[in-house]
Amino acid sequence: MNSSRTKLTWLLIAIVGALTVCPVVMLVLGSFSEGLTAFGHFTVDKYVAAYTDPGFYEVMVNTGIFVLASSLLSTLLAIFLAYLNTRTDIPFKFLFKIISIIPMMIPHLLFAVSWALLLNPSNGLINLGLKEAFGLDSAPLNIYSMWGMILVEGLLDLPIAYLIIAPAMASFDVALEESSRVCGAGTWRTLLRITLPVLRPAILAAFILGVVRSLASFAVPSVIGMPGRVHVLATYLYEMIATGFATDYGKAAAVGMSVLVASVTLIVVYRALTAESEKFVTISSRGFRPSVIELGTARMPLFGLVGLLSLVLIVLPVAVLMYTSLVPYSMVPSAKAFSMMSLKHWSDVLNDPISLLSLKNSLFLAVVGATLGVILSVFVAYVIVKVKTRAAGILESLSYLSFSFPGIVIGVGFMWFFVQTPLYATIWALLLGYIATYLPYGIRPMSSAFIQIHSHLEESSLVCGASPLTTMRRIIVPLLIPGIVSGWILMASMFVRELTLSVVLSRPGTEVLAVQILRFSEDGLWGKLSALGIVMILISTTLVVMATLVGNRFKAVQG
Amino acid sequence: MKKLLAALCVLCAAAQPQAQDKAQLDKARAEGKASFYANITAVEPIIKAFTADTGVTGEYTRISTSKFVATMITEFEAGKLMADVVQAPLPVLDLLKDKSVLASYRSPAAAGYPEWTRKDDKVQIFGIEYVALIYNKEKVKAADAPKRYEDLTLPKWKDKIVMPNPANHATTISWLVGLKENVFKTEAEWRTFLQGLAANKPMFVASFGPTPAPIESGEKLIAISMPKYIVTKAPAPLDWARVSQPLMGTPRAIAVASKAPHPAAARAFIDYWLSKKSMEMLAKDVGEYVLAPGIYPPIDGIKEAKVIAIRELSDAEIQKWGAEFKKIFDVK
């Protein structure tokens, strides 16, 4: 048993290492090389230049506030939504699940632009409405600020947090809560003293993933922070690589190393905080049944609250996108704007051969990439959670390597790596790059689910003569279905809108949706961009619905 | 008899280049395709026309300016440069030339272009990425639009301007320095202009691409932007301020890659690109300011404007001025 686990661990270290270490090694080489590529004479000048810039420390303070606050917001919202969706009798649950993961499907650039259209201080729609309603002289809200960045980034990271917390909450053993109530605790006390502490691994995982994602985020700092002159690490890096034509990615990589160190530290802290994972097991061989809590009179008010939240936070930006795709240019809604509406942008996009090819490629990468990614993630998560050796810790850190690097830089690391291989400029380079970078999207939900499955189940199966593989297939995987579905959805949605690697690795014939959207954005063609963005959302929604249905069917078959 | 011989000689002389052209084109067709690396808007119709007219498949790879040099040099040094033809702002091609990424080729199609567009036997300039003050003509009357760049410092434009970030956007940095060198009489006047512009608190965006949208929607009234958007974003209510001073921009240039996988196709592509037909498409459909004689974008008044190419700034200069503008414009 131990020997096969050790072999599996080292095999996975080899696979994940090959996927994630190579681009990072190229970036390390680049950060210590003179010139613009990874292979120059050794120098530490890039580190000296990057870390002695007086503006760097102010940027780091802003970055700290931005990432911590947005991750906190996304985690708290995710706990709230996941609890209502998985544990209570709130109505229209399926709809709520879809709504709570929609921001995941919207290209981040578009999401940020939608919010700028709603809340800019000059003619943002919400500001105009508030001015009209309360007779104000100036706009009460300004999205171009730190709080605006936190709000939008928090919403963008909400699906990741939700998809990690929801499966853990779904597998929660109600007996723990019942015991608490029997001992006289009320609903709130039970939630705070029992439910949330037991869910600590999932909550911490969601928070840490949020921190890592917002550290690497570029769309929100660029669209909302830059006009408000609030600079964080991503825009600082952008400034570094955009000033001049001979972009020095090595210097940007030197700054990226501190992000990498911060991310790896967070993972170590996470492992320490969840080290005694037995404490968090809720599915053991003694029987488990997730139960539904009756909300009683609070049912409809809570539904109304979540509905309002969804409307303001998600439906409105999507409606803005739909509107933008129909008007000929950027217009504030008016009689004139509605009279000028047409399907021209839609027709242009749907008749554009490159857009259609991008659609096909993105769909292929989403379905095949997410499936392969999830298969790899099941094994990696198993080792991370169930094999408590130092090698398992190494594997977990490796799985975060590419993911932790700022997106603006990691793509170049992959280019420096793939150009040395025959895969360069092929769709396979994109596929491998996607899986390597977004592996934590598959691993995290699966780890949260694994943590809650007691080893007694596995041991009982082995005692009864089943092989480790049969145990995995017959016992573990069926219990992991919520985690597998979450992981697949996270990966597939991410791959549909992936930009940072694609913009560097995509070539004629391997165009993908996000790159095509970026082209429209660079040319200021917001109508076409919105139309293609909605196509992207529809594809992701279809994939999410299909994955959920398949997951439900599996659960039904397993009985 | 003499006349007949002379006529024959003339015919033969005329036929020789045609024969050469045909041989060149046959070679290009045998190579099959020409791969074009650039970052330029809406040129697919030219690529399509090239394919249809020559029988050589044109293939466009669009690479963002910030990744252009890195991608080219990475592929070149790994022996995997897939580009046959490279098109970019002139400073980018100069950088690539220094790294031996470009080959020599003087296209006969550029014969009618101004002499200054042929810097050497490798790089051919064909256009200027011109910058102007673009305003919303439904919100601003033509009479109220700036008449000089200095008018942008008037208090009426406070919080009404959008422009690319002057601390890092290379073309904007070059344009601001271009004002110093081509428009203002003294550096003191230029600095007063910069301080006045900064005092009007312009909204900064990452590049020129996002500048028209806030003008179209009325979020802002005027932009330091590009007149080509008047063409590409029609029917948006955009117009350009007819300032009495020259319009300026970075030269756009084209060259053959030194290790082009399809060298004959590359030459055929450049000949086609510089032809009157392509330049007309570029001006008419994309609103670009091209240097082929007599061709102008369909923008009212542009034909009469004085458009000049600004000096190429080295990366060190761009970084130096970027840092200076960062202080002046209080970019944190």
Q: What is the spatial distance between Cα A33 and Cα A302, in angstroms, rounded to a whole number?
A: 57
* Low-confidence stretches of chain B (pLDDT beneath 70): 1-20, 332
* Contact: A524, B213; criterion CB under 8 Å: yes
Angstrom distance (rounded) from CA A436 to CA A412: 14
Length of chain A: 559
Q: Using an 8 Å Cβ cutoff, are B205 and B211 in contact? A: yes
Residue B3 lies in a domain: no
Domain range for A387 is 2-558
Whether chain B has a CB inside 8 Å of the CB on A242: the answer is yes
Nearest to B92 by CA among B37, B163, B172: B37
Q: What is each CA distance from A433 to A145, A248, A250, A361, A439, in whole angstroms?
A: 34, 22, 20, 14, 10
Q: In this structure, are B152 and B277 located in the same domain?
A: no
Instruction: Establish if A37 touches chain B: CB-CB under 8 angstroms.
Output: yes
Q: Rounded to 5 degrees, what are φ and ψ at A248?
A: -100, 90
- Whether B21 is in a domain gets the answer no
Number of structural domains (chain B) is 2
- List the one residue out of A262, A258, A249 whose CA is nearest residue A500: A249
Length of chain B: 332
Count of helices and strands (H, E) across chain A: 28, 0
A523 part of contact set with chain B, CB < 8 Å: yes
Alpha carbon separation from A248 to A254, A271, B23, B70 (Å, rounded): 10, 35, 43, 8
Residue A24's pLDDT is what? 86
pLDDT in tens, B169-226: 889 999 999 999 999 999 999 999 999 999 999 999 888 988 998 999 888 999 999 9
| B315-328 helix and B170-182 helix, angle to the nearest 10 degrees | 90
Q: Identify the residue whose tokens are 């890096």.
A: A237
Contact criterion met (CB < 8 Å) for B67 and A412: yes
Handedness of CA B290, B295, B298, B302 (dihedral sign): positive
**What are the φ and ψ backbone dihedral angles of B188, each rounded to 5 degrees?**
-65, -45
User: CA–CA distance from B23 to each of A15, A205, B27, B267 (Å)?
Assistant: 52, 65, 6, 12
A246 inside 8 A of chain B by CB: yes
Residues of A in Cβ contact (< 8 Å) with B209: 521-524
CA A467 distance to own-chain centroid: 35
Q: Is A342 on the interface with B (CB under 8 A)?
A: no
Closest CA to A12 of A443, A416, A345, A350: A443
Domain of residue B156, residue span: 129-248+306-328
Out of B60, B69, B207, closest to residue A508 by CB = B60
Q: Which residues, other chains included, contact A8 with Cβ-Cβ below 8 Å and sequence gap of 6+?
A: A379, A383, A387
Distance from CA of B15 to the nearest CA of A (A): 38
Contact A245 B206 (CB under 8 A): no
Of B92, B219, B235, nearest to A120 by CB-CB distance is B219
Is the separation of the CB atoms in B60 and B82 below 8 Å? no
Q: Are strands B57-62 and B161-164 parallel, antiparallel or unpaired?
A: unpaired
**CB contacts, 8 Å: B70 with chain A:** 36-37, 247, 249, 412, 415
B218–A39 CB contact, under 8 Å: no
Tell me the C-alpha distance between B263 and A432, whole Å: 32
**Measured CA distances, B52 to B45, B57, B58, B266, B268 (Å):** 10, 8, 9, 16, 13
Q: Which amino acid is at A337?
A: A
Q: Answer yes or no: are the C-beta atoms of A17 and A406 closer than 8 Å.
A: no
Does B208 lie in the same domain as B137? yes
What single-letter DSSP state applies at residue A417?
A: H
The Cα-based distances of B325 to B39, B166, B169, B319 in angstroms read 26, 6, 11, 10
Q: Which residues contact A123 (CB under 8 A, 6 or more apart)?
A: A332, B217, B218, B219
Distance from CA of A520 to the nearest CA of B (A): 9
- Identify the CA nearest to A245 among candidates B195, B86, B305: B86
Domain count, chain A: 1
Where do the H-state alpha helices sit in A120-248?
125-134, 146-170, 174-182, 187-190, 196-198, 200-216, 219-220, 233-242
In a domain, B318, yes or no: yes
> Which residues in chain A (146-205) have CB-CB distances under 8 A to chain B?
none
pTM for this one? 0.78
Going from the C-alpha of A4 to that of each of A229, A408, A476, the distances in angstroms are 55, 39, 17
Burial class from Cβ neighbours inside 10 Å (0-12, 13-18, 19+) for residue A365 reads buried
Residue B133 forms part of a structural domain: yes
Domain assignment of residue B17, yes or no: no
Q: CB of A219 within 8 A of CB of A408? A: no
Q: What CATH number is associated with residue B147?
A: 3.40.190.10
**Would you give the end-to-end CA distance of chain A in angstroms?**
29
Query: Quick one: CA dihedral B151, B157, B160, B163, positive or negative?
Result: positive
Task: Check CB contact under 8 Å for B207 and A522.
Answer: yes
* Residue type present at position A254: A
**Same structural domain for residues B78 and B159?**
no
Q: Give the number of other CB atoms < 10 A from CB of residue A275.
A: 10
The answer to whether the beta carbons of residues B211 and A524 sit under 8 Å apart is yes
Contact at CB, B66 and A242, closer than 8 angstroms? yes
CA–CA separation, B250 and A33 (whole Å): 31
Neighbours of B9 (CB within 10 A): 10
Cα(B229)–Cα(B208) distance, rounded to whole angstroms? 10
> Do the chains contact at B211 and A524, CB–CB below 8 Å?
yes
Distance CA A259, CA A279 (A): 31
How many C-beta neighbours within 10 Å does residue A300 have?
12
Phi-psi region of A334 (alpha: psi -120 to 50; beta: other; left: phi over 0): beta
**Pairwise CA distance, residues B313 & B307, whole Å:** 18
List the CATH number of the domain containing A535.
1.10.3720.10
In chain A, which residues have pLDDT < 50? Answer: 284-287
Residue contact A246–B67, C-beta within 8 A? no
3-state SS of chain B? CHHHHHHHHHHHHHHHHHHHHHHHHHHHHHHCEEEEEECCCCCHHHHHHHHHHHCCEEEEEECCHHHHHHHHHHHHHCCCCCCCEEEEEHHHHHHHHHCCCEECCCCHHHCCCCHHHECCCCCEEEEEEEEEEEEECCCCCHHHCCCCHHHHHCHHHCCCEEEECCCCCHHHHHHHHHHHHHCCCCHHHHHHHHHHHHHCCCEEECCCCCCHHHHHHCCCCEEEECCHHHHHCCCCCEEECCCCCCEEEEEEEEEEECCCCCHHHHHHHHHHHCCHHHHHHHHHHHCCEECCCCCCCCCCCHHHCCEEECCCCCHHHHHHHHHHHHHHCCCC
Tell me the C-alpha distance between B189 and B181, whole Å: 12
Cross-chain residue pair B233–A524, CB shorter than 8 Å: yes
Residue B162 placed within a domain: yes
pLDDT in tens, A92-102: 776 666 666 67
Best mutation target among A63, A238, A243, A345 (most B Cβ atoms within 10 Å) is A243
Q: Is A465 left (phi over 0), alpha (psi -120 to 50) or beta?
A: left
- Phi and psi at A476, nearest 5°, equal -75, -55
The first and second tokens of residue B280, run together, are: 């007309």
Q: Note which residues in 351-370 of chain A have CB less than 8 A from chain B.
A: 354
Is there a single domain that holds both residue B197 and residue B314? yes
Residue among A258, A224, A260, A262 at smallest CA distance from A53:
A258
* Residue in the block written with tokens 């270290």: A13
- Establish, for the pair of chains A and B, how many residue pairs have beta carbons separated by less than 8 Å: 146
DSSP string, A14-56: HHHHHHHHHHHHHHHHHHTBSSSSSSS-B--HHHHHHHT-THH
| Local structure of A510: helix, strand or coil | coil
Q: Is residue B14 part of a domain?
A: no
Phi (first) and psi of residue B225, to 5 degrees: -150, -155
Token pair belonging to B319: 């970084």
Cβ within 8 Å, pair A523-B41: yes
Tell me, yes or no, if A229 comes closer than 8 A to chain B by beta carbon: yes
Which phi and psi (to 5°) does residue B130 adopt?
-75, 145
- Residue B13 placed within a domain: no
Q: Which tokens go with B271?
A: 């000949």
Rounded Cα distance, B21 and A191, in Å: 81
Mapped onto helix, strand or coil, the DSSP state of residue A452 is: coil
